[in-house]
Chain A
Amino acid sequence: MHWGILIVVYPYITGLVAGAFILASLERVFNVKEIMPTYRLSLLTALSFLLIAPLPLLLHLGHPERFYEIMITPHLQSAMAMFGFVYVWYLMMVLILEIWFEYRQDLVVLAREESGLKKYFYYLLTLGSLDLSEKSLQFDKKAVGFITILGIPSAFILHGYVGFIFGSIKANPWWSSVLIPIVFLFSAIVSGIALMVLIYGISTLLRGKSINMPCMDKLATYLLNALIIDLSLETLDFIHRVYESVESIHIMGQMISQKLFISLIVVQLMLGTLLPIVLIVVTKTFNVPAELRRLVYFMAAIFVQIGIFSTRWNVVIGGQLFSKSLRGLTNYKMELLGIEGLLISIGLLILPVVILIVMIKILPPWKEDIGAAS
């Protein structure tokens, strides 16, 4: 099989990036005050995961040491090379700029308060822009707003592009669908919100602070809405395929009922979509105490993460499990230790968390005046 688990990890990570960023932009563009405590954390999470996003591709292609060649000799007519442009745009013009404007005031304060090497380090990060006048801070705020508005379509393009790559492969009936980029996008939003529920919850508990429940409730509402849209789109895609009943429908049915039964029906649909929907709906309907609510949201977020990883698996691996002549099903044997193996993939999923921890140390996302404990 040509595309293995590394290519499963790739859309999973880019989905988390796009989802976390879209969540962050809700606060800025749509002025959702409740989720303010997750704003900076979402930006740092998006950046940490974005830095790792190209690694699965580079490792899969072989010769990762030639990574710079896509940047110096890009092939302008290659759909694959578009990832390079989208990536650079999103990294340099959206995330880094937004984080810099958002943190500039704090960086200046840190550069003044810290001593030794740290002082110079923060001074370097301010780029020497030390002006904290009202006018200057007002401009920072405007810049963040502008970049966020620019960032939403960019985040859509980043993950919609990944969906496009699969959806445009017309020879593969499992992938070839105009709905795939949209489905990818909404599953990205689902996974991003669920990730932020986990990261916000765990980081707050580790800091010994109490969790801001209005924030968690709002996140859960968004997660529920996104899950319902995602499920509706997937169902629409499914009904469309069944109604069209082109010649591939038999082998698709065979694949869903045999090879993908556990990962698609059990994990993706039941555990990763329906169960979190039921959990959140029940919690919202009945007067559940805050502690139990928090626990249920955590569980729902974990199930969603497992479900979305399974979604990526079903798309990438599922699309290669049947023969191109639609005659029968094949197998995927995952390596354990190889460069395209399980351990490398687990490493790639842990690495962004390590980067996030380092970033949180350098750029503390918590302002004491926000996120007042409930």
Chain B
Amino acid sequence: MGKELPVPEKTTSFIRREEHHPNTGVDSADNPQPPEPIPEDEDGLEPSDDKNDDVKDKEDHDHQEDENKEKNDVGEDHQETKNDDEEKEENKNSNDEETAPADAADQVVVDEEEDPLITLHKVNEEIDRFVSSSSSSSFHDGPDDPDENAVKTEVVPEFVGMFLDLVEDKAAKHDSIEGRVKWNQLPENGSLFLQTVDRLSKLNKTLCHMKLEEETRSSLINRVGSIQQRAMAYLEEEFRSLMEESKTDHHHHDSDPSGGDNNNNSKDRCQLSASESETTGGDEEEDDNFPGYSNDVVLNLNGIAKEMISGGYESECLEVYMNARRIAFEESLHRLGFEKHSIDDVHKMHWEHLEREISSWITTFKHCATVHFSSERKLAEAVFVDFPSISALIFSNLFKLVFVDLLSFAEGVSMSKRSTEKLFKTLDMYETLRDMGPKMYELFPEECANELKKETTSTRCRVGEAAIFLFCDLENSIKSDTGKTPVPGGAVHPLSRYTMNYLKYTCEYKDTLEQVFREHSKIERHDSTSRPHNYEGGETTNQNNDGDEKQSPFSAQLLRVMDLLDSNLEAKSKLYKDVALSSIFMMNNGRYILQKIKGSAEIHELMGDTWCRKRSSELRQYHKNYQRETWSKLLQCLNHEGLNVNGKVVKPVLKERFKSFNALFEEIHKTQSTWIVSDEQLQSELRVSISAVVIPAYRSFLGRFSQYLDPGRQTEKYIKFQSEDIETYIDDLFDGNPGMSMARRKQ
């Protein structure tokens, strides 16, 4: 029928600008049938409200009134109707009136002075009334109505055709090839257009329910459907361009983030960034780094989405939305510095490169967890505010896409070749997964959150296990350090330094490592054929043990490392031919280790006082060994025994004693002043203890026996050292000065 309608000149209308009396509009005489069946009885009114709700007529004007009016006569109450409708219409042309198309006989009154806007406005009103009343009558169509000449068919009022003409025209203009109208160029931010589309959709539904003569019905539906499709295609296109082209941070952040990223990277590159990274301002400055939209745009998107969905074009709308956001997501990951790598690549990547990528991953993951995901959800909720299940679905689908990539990277890192230096970054990742997880879970409905939790936990386990392996790899580093060259001078071995510094850093992650060892130290084999599901369980049971277990798995591992280091050092000490030097070596290293442990509260706590005490006493033992080795021989020279025979000092023996003392002491001085004790305290302890033993003995020996030597030449020959000299020479020991000789010293 619509097709047969005479199409008025496009920009004219049937409606006069001036006020008209209602009945100028529809000539009731020419209108043998009412435009729509009118429920005659009061019963018919009540379902009408329900029905309107079904159609999601959000214009809350009083249906009752409408119904009443229409009950009287569609044509006659325009004045009142119009006043009602004004409230929902855009207050324009409030005084205008509509003239309905003349009649079914193609006779149309065309008025030259008419304004298209007014026309549309008026036709709109008609359509609204028509839709709301028809929908109410669709269940109660009037077979009882005696006035209906054809019980089974209804007739579509003329203004439907006019409406369609106008809309078609409008849509075509918006969407023409040249001069396409962009959404923001539409009057009223497009709300008028949306209303029109809304009307169209409702009209479509209404017509589908009407009982019309078949051919009329289908051609009319065809027409409405066709126009609707065109309008929807326009909406879709505009929806897309709004989605893609109005992102807020699109441009002005383009230059920003590179600088920001570099900062973050350099921060993270420092190996001890764990505590630091929690306090960095990184998160704040990235806060707005979300490709979102201004409120206006969101409102527009929301309006379009609503029309598309209620008009049955939900799938198209969601496709556009998903695609646009997926791209935005990918772009923003890129801006955050996260690059996709296959697990295979990560697995093989050079550590330097991987280290950078891990930093970006951490930044990205944190940003996603704290900013991006929640903003994305908010956006979906705002655009699809009327359809919460849709927004939830969209968000979780989008999320899954990104998240698998993020987790895969972590899996890849956990598989990369093991080497000790990777531990700290790996622990950073572990902490990120651990701390950021809960922030994400709350964004999801329970079921989804559980799934997500399972995935995150599983990846976290992998990373945790990797961390354990990395830490345990320290054992291998220690074991494999089997060099056969002793460190000159018995100084601190590089292995001790490396191990202790490593442990010092490690212990800055003490709490995390404790957790990691508690939760992941055993790969459960029994469970291994199914997915790892019992980690959460493990967590809680282990926490119970926490209190009463004195030694945590981590500190056990730490002790194991220390023992290993110890035995390695002991083996190295055997490389020295001089037993005294072995002891010095052990003392040096032992002291170094002990100092390091005391210097770090974390390790100290982990190793415990008992261990430290045990260590100190071992050191004392080495000290004793040393003294015995070096100085007891010397002291034997000063032994009074054997010098007195029958109360007389045996001079040759005495001379021999002095000679050997001198030689021995010179030898010791020569050797041991090349030895190294770099710990000042230990050095002075050693000297003091040596002096304490040697000097009094020498002094007394000297006091007792020097008199037996003839003064002069003999004394000079045999008494080379005064006790003060001895003290001075002792102070030369352990300085690591190879060139030190007594001769030079004496000058």
Are A and B subunits of one complex? no
